[in-house]
Structure 1
Amino acid sequence: MNYYSTNHKASPASLQEAVVKGLAPDKGLYMPEQIPLLPQAFFEHIGEMGLTEIAQTVAQSFFGNDIPKENLDAIVADALNFEIPLVEIEDGIYALELFHGPTFAFKDVGARFMARMLSYFVQERNQENVVVLVATSGDTGSAVANGFLGVKGIEVVVLYPSGKVSPIQEAQFTTLGQNITALEIEGTFDDCQALVKSAFMDKELTSQMFLTSANSINVARFLPQSFYYFHAYAQLARKGKAGEMVFSVPSGNLGNLTAGIFAKHMGLPVKRFIAANNRNHVFFDYLYSGQYAPHASVTTIANAMDVGNPSNFDRILDVYGRDHARIVADLSGQWHTDDTIRKTIRTVYQQTGYVLDPHAACAYRSLKDGLSPGETGIFLGTAHPAKFRETVEECLDKSVDIPPALRAFMHRKKQSQPLSSDFEEFKKTLIRLS
């Protein structure tokens, strides 16, 4: 399958080109030329299938013409070597726990898949001097860094906003060394993302090194996130409760939501989606006004959603032919203040004993406020609560257990380089690293 740019000014690219380049030459995001519709038989038997088999089937529909089945199946199986359980929190409301991977965040799915696919293509091309650039507001950096750690022939540069990620998140990508470099940017996530995009457009840089991205702008990062929407449906089917599904998705850069929209267009019987925003509610504003007005992000306790100009907005527009009426037929939005998020963490624990992280709390609150009678609600638990220990413990007035594997990161030495948000300074740093 070929991939086109959302700006429609670049030539179509093969899967290999789209994955290795990351961003199209015209600054657009790559999109598959078609969204394949999965056969009805798949959905009739999905309750009998496990996560790996479901993911391999979905992956085959997108990537099967470009990667031999044996290799693709191996990539999926190796990437998804952890559980993604669906947990009932209260009657009709479930948490899809996406934080059981090695970095305890949902981005393990897409990042591990992309690392293995990119490694496969690098070996196929006999490519050298590949530099993966990734901007992070928290969990993307740790998932990508750990996914690529020690991969021969690939250097990873993680850009993150100074003081705006949790200590545990920071430790997960600043303490690794080897082929991982962390750049602590004086600015916001949007500044980090702008530096990455500018690097791709700089001819001097791209002539000296082979740049690619591991943010959700890369098709190999966001498409695999559709896997767990199907897996959630399979678990409901096994319980005999697969009714009118509504997904509430913590929404920052919109990659996770876009993956769910792709799943729906592939035939997954989703009734609708709720985009859960914090005070960075530019997408909420678009849904209810039809006007898109990106702005500088503000800092919140749900920091992974602190995005004022979400990249994947263009993909959502593209899927729906830029038709606002079609978009709002499938999507609604909610946004919440830090105070509401804190209150939700506290109230849900008092009523159910379940511990939410700030992003899941935002999604739960949006679902609770927006669910209609007869609907089955699923909110995405995108990170382990311990990754936001200080916030969660303050809300609960009790300590939060930290998994041993997560605690281990905290005892390692931080290795990061402070940098301004000036592109020329960033460019010089990249050249020195190469």
Structure 2
Amino acid sequence: MKFYSTNNKALQVDLRTAVTQGLAPDNGLYMPERIPTLPPDFFAALPSMSFADIAFAVAQNLVGDDVPADELRRIVDHTIQFDAPVVEVDDHLYALELFHGPTLAFKDFGARFMSQLLGYFARSQKQEIVILVATSGDTGSAVANGFLGVQGTRVIVLYPSGKVSDIQEKQFTTLGQNITALEVDGTFDDCQRLVKQAFLDEDLKKKYFLTSANSINIARLIPQSFYYFYAYARVQHLGRPVVFSVPSGNFGNITGGLLARAMGLPIHAFVATTNVNDVVPAYLKTQVFTPRPSQQTISNAMDVGNPSNFPRILELLGHDYQALSALIKGYAFTDDETRAAMRLVKASAGYVLDPHGAIGYLGLQHYLHETTDEVTGIFLETAHPAKFKEVVDETLEEPIAIPPALQKFLQLSKRSVPMKSDFPSFKAYLQGNL
């Protein structure tokens, strides 16, 4: 399989290059040159297949012969070591719980897959692979824990100071070993900009082997298609069209769903839900894409003012605005609306939402009120509520328990390096510490 840049379809590379580069030299995102449709017998067997078997078939469909089958199976089995249950919250309305991994966030799937794939490529790599990752919350913890101790790799996490939850921060600032956390005086968009600038800097590219673990890397995107197939298989017997509502920041998660649909998964529609950082919902209404500085909200992992994966969404829909706006409906919600949804669902269903899942729930409810189709709705619950304990406790006016997986991080000491938000400071740090 070849992968092309969204900025130049003639620029094509193999999987190894796409994964180890992260971002194409022309600042584009890598996309598979073709997306094979999975065969009918796969979909016939889907309801009876295990999560790992589904993931292996999907991965092999995209990766092809670039990774030996036995090695790809090992990578998938390492990735899928926890469930992603579909939980009924209301009539024909379900939560897809993606927070049962080691850092209690959906990004565990992508980070674990990518760490093993990069580890596989690093075996024949003499130079250390340096992974730069910008995080607005959960990406940093998932990537840091996924790559912890992986030979031949070093991870540098950039995060906006004071704009991630305490628990999220502890999950990537307490690890040590091959993990370094840079606390940036700025926003997530500043962190993301610094990472992209580093990839385009000729001095850094000549001296270091840099790649990214954000969803701009195709190795993060491929595994994010797995759980759409698995979730669909769990509700297929209901006999209704399936709609997925995806709380979105950088839009990698919904891109994984679009990738699944391109492989033949019969998803009826998507709901792209955001907080007040509503660049994509605004585009879906106006056909105008206007990036802007992000605003801080209680759903901090979605505080993104310039979503990186938007070019991939355009590619997957053939740059056809009519097709895109027909398939994807966009909604945006305030913090007050988010809190109200959290209280409502707790009171009516006894189910505790985190702020991001609450936005996914709200978007799905809006879609259901506007459509005449009888559908099964699934919203993605992307992180455990305890990762946002302060917000959840205050909103629900009662404390929620902290799972043991999070408690272990709270007992450790934070270690981070203060960093200004200008590129010369970041470049100087890399040159002085790598």
* TM-score bracket for this pair, using the shorter chain length: over 0.9
The aligned counterpart of 1:126 is 125
d(CA) in 1 for partners of 2:10, 2:268: 34
Kindly provide the CA deviation profile for residues 56-104 of structure 1, in whole angstroms up to 9, marking residues without a partner as x: 0000101122011100011000111111100001110000000000000
1:152 has 2:154 as partner? no
d(CA) in 1 for partners of 2:332, 2:45: 37
Please report the RMSD computed on the Cα atoms of aligned residues, expressed in angstroms. Answer: 0.9
1:343 has 2:340 as partner? yes
d(CA) in 1 for partners of 2:301, 2:93: 23
**Structure 2 counterpart of 1:33, which letter?**
E
SS of the equivalent of 1:83 reads coil
d(CA) in 2 for partners of 1:11, 1:351: 53
Kindly provide the CA deviation profile for residues 112-163 of structure 1, in whole angstroms up to 9, marking residues without a partner as x: 000000000111x333221000000000000000000011121100000000
Judging changes above 3 Å, is the alpha-carbon distance between structure 1 residues 160 and 28 closer, same or farther for their aligned structure 2 residues? same
d(CA) in 2 for partners of 1:382, 1:154: 27
Kindly provide the CA deviation profile for residues 270-329 of structure 1, in whole angstroms up to 9, marking residues without a partner as x: 100000110000000000000000000000000010000000000011112211111011
Match of 1:354 among 351, 354, 357: 351
d(CA) in 1 for partners of 2:426, 2:393: 37
**Structure 2 counterpart of 1:58, which letter?**
V
The aligned counterpart of 1:284 is 281
- Number of equivalenced pairs: 431
1:263 has 2:226 as partner? no
**Structure 1 counterpart of 2:219, which letter?**
A
Match of 1:365 among 352, 355, 362: 362
d(CA) in 1 for partners of 2:347, 2:220: 36
The aligned counterpart of 1:398 is 398
d(CA) in 2 for partners of 1:419, 1:133: 14
The aligned counterpart of 2:69 is 69
**Structure 2 counterpart of 1:258, which letter?**
T
**Structure 2 counterpart of 1:147, which letter?**
G
Runs of 4+ in structure 1 displaced over 3 angstroms?
none
d(CA) in 1 for partners of 2:253, 2:205: 29
Identity level (%): 56
Kindly provide the CA deviation profile for residues 182-215 of structure 1, in whole angstroms up to 9, marking residues without a partner as x: 0000111000000000000111111111000000
1:274 has 2:259 as partner? no
The aligned counterpart of 2:418 is 418
d(CA) in 2 for partners of 1:199, 1:341: 36
Match of 2:322 among 319, 322, 325: 325
d(CA) in 2 for partners of 1:135, 1:360: 22
CA contact 1:99–1:381 (8 Å) conserved in 2:
yes
The aligned counterpart of 1:110 is 110
SS of the equivalent of 2:8 reads coil
1:139 has 2:138 as partner? yes
Q: Report the Cα offset of residue 10 of structure 1.
A: 6.2
Match of 2:309 among 309, 312, 321: 312
The aligned counterpart of 1:225 is 224
**Structure 2 counterpart of 1:139, which letter?**
D
**Structure 2 counterpart of 1:154, which letter?**
T
SS of the equivalent of 1:273 reads strand
d(CA) in 2 for partners of 1:351, 1:9: 50
Structure 2: gaps (5+ residues): none
The aligned counterpart of 1:52 is 52
CA contact 1:89–1:95 (8 Å) conserved in 2:
yes
**Structure 2 counterpart of 1:333, which letter?**
G
The aligned counterpart of 1:187 is 186
d(CA) in 1 for partners of 2:46, 2:169: 38
Structure 1: gaps (5+ residues): none
Q: Report the Cα offset of residue 9 of structure 1.
A: 6.6
SS of the equivalent of 2:238 reads coil
SS of the equivalent of 1:120 reads helix
Judging changes above 3 Å, is the alpha-carbon distance between structure 1 residues 404 and 321 closer, same or farther for their aligned structure 2 residues? same
SS of the equivalent of 1:187 reads coil
Kindly provide the CA deviation profile for residues 203-250 of structure 1, in whole angstroms up to 9, marking residues without a partner as x: 11111110000000000001110000000011113xx21421000000
